[in-house]
């Protein structure tokens, strides 16, 4: 297994400098530790004096558990001593806007329209779910929020994240198809009204199309930012197991197709001593006994085999290792240790 250089961190009381752009997104297979990495990065960023928003787009939220503080659906400052803000996106709260379900938004009337006219504006892709749509809509809002100098995103598991990244293309397709469809059906107001509400008139339909164009423009701006390596680092998190390696390779391939830059690969739960990963001057941590524990030796061999297969995943990326801790990783002290590993 290739050795990875690590930077020394003198003490956990010191601020850990976060070398990261404006947007940091952690993605990967479910259960690999994305939330932990996002929470550690956001906390270290805020302790470094940077106004930072930690936002979770994972429907199964655990950011509040990692930070050990309640986190609402709207960005709220969660620390008084450092500029740390947090939000856990609640798809069920999306009762308005173009992605709202149940007839409250633009997509609410699509089903009836498609059934009546045999038209599917999403023929080129998958209909976005509420989770991805809510995440996209709120990311559009947060990227223009002057309160935050850095946004750290704990993304949903791989499949949800990829559907989120597909939304710009779907929006572009949807806008063009609806505009063309509206022209074709200009005399069939009954069908078109199903898209915007039963009481819609010509003026409200035109306003709806203007809103759709404006939203498509904002989505395009977000896509440009996510593709800019000077502003975005999508960090793939994996664990040293074969299935995680395979899914990480798949995710990297898809991100390359979306032209989203991946600067960092984080390997979590590696069975190595913390001293081998980060030089932290603090109380010693319990490490796996690779000399006298047969179980630890066997697991380490499994991990080494997986990491050996993952060399293509590592190639061209900044690789960070986070050890397997005996204690649960939650709360400020443990998050500072993780941040030291990521420094």
**Domain locations in the chain as residue ranges:** 8-342
Tens digits of per-residue pLDDT, 51-78? Answer: 999 998 877 778 999 999 999 988 999 9
Least confident of 62-76, 212-226, 245-259: 212-226
Q: How confident is the model at residue 6 (pLDDT cuts 50, 70, 90)?
A: very low
Does the pLDDT of residue 33 top 60, yes or no? yes
Q: Give the pLDDT band of residue 135 (cuts 50, 70, 90).
A: low
According to the model, what pLDDT value does residue 126 have? 43
Contacts of 226 (CB under 8 A, 6+ apart): 23, 25, 165, 232, 234, 258, 260
Among residues 328, 324, 343, which one has the least CA distance to residue 40?
Answer: 343
Q: What is the mean pLDDT of residues 250-274?
A: 90
Q: Indicate if the pLDDT at residue 87 is higher than 50.
A: yes
Beta-carbon neighbour count of residue 82 at 10 Å? 19
Q: Would the pLDDT of 256 be above 50? A: yes
* Average pLDDT value for residue range 144-165: 80
Residue 240 gets which letter from DSSP? S
Of residues 230 and 287, the one with the higher pLDDT is 230
Helix axes 332-342, 34-47, angle to 10 degrees: 90
Does 275 or 215 have the greater pLDDT score?
A: 275
Which range, 116-120, 129-133, 323-327, has the best average confidence (pLDDT)? 323-327
Question: What pLDDT band is residue 237 in, cutting at 50, 70 and 90?
Answer: very high
pLDDT of 279 over the 80 cut? no
Mean pLDDT for 109-137 is 50
pLDDT band at 275; cut points 50, 70, 90: confident
Q: How confident is the model at residue 112 (pLDDT cuts 50, 70, 90)?
A: very low
Quote the CA–CA distance of 257 and 263 in Å, as a whole number.
Answer: 15
Q: How much of the chain exceeds pLDDT 70, in percent?
A: 66
pLDDT of residue 151: 93
pLDDT score, position 208: 63
Predicted pLDDT at 79:
93
The pLDDT of residue 124: 43
Which single residue is written with the structure tokens 């250089």?
5
* Orientation of helix 202-226 relative to helix 189-196, angle to 10°: 50
Q: For residue 123, is pLDDT > 70?
A: no
CATH fold label, 8-342: Rossmann fold (3.40.50)
Task: Read off the pLDDT of each residue in 83-99 and give the average, rounded to a whole number.
Answer: 70
pLDDT of residue 106: 47
Q: What is the mean pLDDT of residues 263-282?
A: 85
Residue 141 confidence (pLDDT): 78
- Nearest Cα neighbor of 129 from 153, 88, 157 is 157
pLDDT at 134: 61
Chain-wide mean pLDDT for the chain? 77
pLDDT of residue 185: 57
């Amino acid at each position: 297994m290739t050795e990875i250089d690590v930077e020394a961190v003198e003490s956990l009381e010191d601020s850990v400098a976060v070398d990261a752009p404006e947007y940091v997104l952690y993605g990967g297979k479910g259960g690999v530790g994305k939330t932990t990495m996002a929470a550690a990065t956001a906390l270290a960023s805020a302790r470094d004096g940077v106004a930072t928003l930690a936002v979770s787009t994972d429907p199964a939220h655990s950011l509040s558990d990692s930070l050990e503080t309640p986190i609402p659906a709207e960005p709220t400052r969660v620390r008084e001593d450092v500029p740390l803000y947090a939000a856990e996106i609640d798809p069920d709260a999306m009762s308005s806007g173009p992605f709202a379900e149940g007839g409250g938004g633009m997509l609410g009337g699509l089903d009836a329209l498609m059934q009546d006219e045999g038209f599917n504006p999403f023929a080129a892709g998958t209909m976005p779910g509420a989770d991805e749509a809510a995440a996209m809509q709120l990311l559009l809002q947060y990227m223009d929020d002057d309160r935050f100098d850095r946004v750290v995103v704990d993304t949903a598991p791989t499949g949800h994240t990829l559907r989120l990244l597909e939304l710009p293309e779907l929006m572009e397709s949807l806008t063009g198809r609806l505009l063309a469809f509206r022209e074709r059906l200009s005399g069939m107001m009954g069908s078109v009204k199903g898209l915007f509400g039963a009481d819609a008139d010509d003026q409200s339909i035109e306003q709806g199309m203007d809103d759709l164009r404006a939203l498509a423009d904002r989505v395009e701006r977000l896509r440009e930012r996510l593709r800019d390596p000077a502003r975005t680092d999508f960090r793939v998190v994996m664990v040293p197991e074969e299935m995680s390696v395979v899914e990480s390779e798949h995710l990297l391939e898809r991100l390359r197709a979306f032209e989203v830059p991946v600067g960092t690969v984080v390997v979590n739960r590696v069975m190595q001593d913390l001293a081998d990963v980060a030089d932290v001057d603090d109380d010693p941590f319990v490490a796996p006994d690779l000399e006298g524990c047969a179980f630890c030796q066997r697991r380490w061999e499994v991990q080494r085999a997986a990491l050996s297969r993952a060399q293509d995943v590592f190639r061209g990326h900044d690789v960070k290792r986070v050890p397997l801790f005996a204690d649960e990783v939650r709360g400020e002290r443990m998050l500072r240790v993780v941040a030291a590993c990521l420094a």
